[in-house]
Amino acid sequence: MSNQCPATCHSYTVEPEAGFSYIKLKEGESFVVERGDHNSLLFVLNGDFEISSEERRDYVVHAEHFVFCFRAYRYEIKAVTDVEIVRAHFITAGATCDMIPFNSIVGKIKKINYKFTQVAINEPMQHLLNSVRYYLQNNMKCNHLHRAKIQEMFIIFKFFYTPQIQLRTFYNLFDRNQSFASLVKNNAPRVKTVEELADICGFSIQHFNNMFKQEFNDTPYSWMQKQRIVEIERLLTETNVPLKSIIKMYNFTNHGHFALFCRKYLNKTPLKVRKEARAAKEGK
């Protein structure tokens, strides 16, 4: 059975914006989690590694435990023994599910005595990691799969870890008032309306609109429309995704409706946009 996603699929990606990777190190080997846009959870399936950052130096993480790496820090990881790691990376803590009310527990953050420490992998999380490892070892790179598994991971946090452990794990993320811009950009591709986006980000629509204007100097609707235009243009010029699939993805009523949209915002029909992009590539 083939498990390779075709490169023409719009959900195919070498590294999804939120997803997992599999890391196997021999004793003494190392890698670095650089500062950046993503937060990470490092789950140790087998073996031990030593981790150092601005938070804590030379801290040993053991098998069947995990640590949270905050995006503002640089982490150096060195294998103490042969080690097997599944890394989850994401921008925001949470998922597209009302059952993940991280915002509702953030108010308790000041009651937590925080220090960088490992947390045990419980049985539900172990089942998730076993499935993720299998998918990664079989080179499955579908964005849909990675996003679904990230959501499943946060559901496990909600139902099988206490609020105290959740807060201790993600303390840095909550205590530094997560970037509103990152929250919006991470969740916008998952929703269709401004109301849905405000709800997922955990704000009332009025508060969301006010914060959005301050951050982006634009209205949420206008900004989301611009993102939609950019993504549709990308699909037309950089992929072979069929027009009927794009029409379905973005809820156009029919081909004529889609053609009107493209004429208005891209100044051409979708077929002409795609044809000119292909001609430009062939001419290089």
Same domain (yes/no): 154, 276: no
Any domain includes 194: yes
Any domain includes 13: no
Same domain (yes/no): 65, 191: no
* Residue 152 vs residues 70, 157, 159, 220: alpha-carbon distances, Å: 20, 9, 11, 28
pLDDT tens for each residue of 168-191: 898 887 755 456 777 788 778 778
Same domain (yes/no): 99, 170: yes
Any domain includes 240: yes
What DSSP line would sit under 141-164, residue for residue?
A: -BHHHHHHHHHHHHHHHHHHS-HH
User: What pLDDT tens digit does each residue of the chain (284 aa) get?
Assistant: 445 555 555 544 445 568 999 999 999 999 999 887 688 999 999 999 999 998 889 999 999 999 999 887 889 999 999 999 999 998 776 644 444 455 555 555 556 677 899 999 999 999 999 999 999 999 888 888 998 999 899 999 989 998 888 888 988 877 554 567 777 887 787 788 898 888 777 667 887 888 888 888 999 999 999 999 999 999 999 999 999 999 988 889 999 999 999 999 999 999 999 999 988 888 76
First to last CA, the chain: 37
Same domain (yes/no): 171, 190: no
The pLDDT of residue 9? 57
What DSSP line would sit under 79-134, residue for residue?
A: ESSSEEEEEEEESSS--SSTT--HHHHGGGGGG-------EE--HHHHHHHHHHHH
Same domain (yes/no): 85, 147: yes
Same domain (yes/no): 171, 187: no
Are 236 and 277 in contact by the 8 Å Cβ rule? The answer is yes
Same domain (yes/no): 215, 92: no
The pLDDT of residue 109? 57
61 phi and psi, to 5 degrees?
-105, 130
- For the entire predicted model, the pTM comes to 0.60
Q: d(Cα 31, Cα 42) in Å, to the nearest integer?
A: 12
Of 158, 177, 196, the residue that ends a domain is: 177
Any domain includes 10: no
Beta bridge partners of 50: 60, 78
Are 92 and 28 in contact by the 8 Å Cβ rule? The answer is no
The pLDDT of residue 208? 83
Order of strands across the sheet that contains 19-25: 19-25, 83-90, 39-46, 65-69, 119-120
How many distinct structural domains can be found in the chain? 2
Closest CA to 49 of 33, 36, 71: 33
Of 138, 157, 177, the residue that ends a domain is: 177
Same domain (yes/no): 144, 220: no
Same domain (yes/no): 94, 79: yes
CATH of the domain at 133: 2.60.120.10
Expressed as residue numbers, the domain containing 255 is 181-282
Same domain (yes/no): 151, 256: no
Q: d(Cα 154, Cα 62) in Å, to the nearest integer?
A: 22
Of 126, 144, 177, the residue that ends a domain is: 177
Same domain (yes/no): 82, 216: no
The pLDDT of residue 91? 78
CATH of the domain at 231: 1.10.10.60
Are 180 and 211 in contact by the 8 Å Cβ rule? The answer is yes
Same domain (yes/no): 187, 164: no
- Within the chain, what is the greatest distance between any pair of CA atoms? 63
The pLDDT of residue 36? 75
Sign of CA dihedral 148, 163, 178, 71: negative
Closest CA to 237 of 226, 246, 250: 246
